[in-house]
Amino acid sequence: MARTPASGSLVRFGFAHADRLLPLTSVERSELAAVYRHPRPVYGTFHHIAVPLRGVPDVFALAHPRHAGLRASLFALIASARQRAPASVLVNAGPRQDVGQVHFHLTDDSPFSDAVRSEQLTWPDWDAAVRALTSVPDIQERYRAGFSLLQDAGDARVRLI
């Protein structure tokens, strides 16, 4: 049910207008983004999510120029969290994205550790990776198959996996 368009709209509305009412524990926040403990952790000994406090359905929508300030705030929170504790950061797309609101996983585990990390599709940071997505060859095919962007702990680079 979480993957339906209606539930995605509801989740986006919740983050944009009533995030403090959501059943999430806030770790850190800014005016435009927040980091929460994951409600159902599956990775590592800690698992948080970083979420924009505006309705943004997926990583492609986040790339739009109108979200430049939102991206900056979100990525600053992610960087701050990584300074406190080394973490891998992951954002899913397509069938791997469980809810209709873009969110980034932060964990001390190595998500998708068996996945091949592309050497050709690597960017220096999150902002560059998100903005470059539309120029990736065969991106729609990859989206339907489900891809992720991953920043391994201790590495500034972001890779398509």
pLDDT of 134 strictly over 90: no
pLDDT tens digit sequence for 66-87: 999 999 999 999 999 999 999 9
Alpha carbon separation from 16 to 33, 91, 99, 143 (Å, rounded)? 10, 19, 14, 25
- Read off the pLDDT of each residue in 6-18 and give the average, rounded to a whole number: 84
What's the mean per-residue pLDDT of the chain?
90
pLDDT tens digit sequence for 20-60: 888 899 999 999 999 999 988 888 888 999 999 999 999 99
* Beta-strand pair 158-160/122-123: antiparallel
pLDDT of 10 strictly over 70: yes
Q: What percent of the chain has pLDDT over 70?
A: 98
pLDDT of 128 strictly over 90: yes
pLDDT of 117 strictly over 80: no
pLDDT, greater one: 56 or 119: 56
pLDDT of 1 strictly over 70: no
Alpha carbon separation from 26 to 93, 146, 152 (Å, rounded)? 24, 28, 23
pLDDT of 110 strictly over 90: no
How big is the CA angle at 129 (ends 68 and 115), to the nearest 5 degrees?
Answer: 145
State the pLDDT at residue 116. 76
State the pLDDT at residue 2. 53
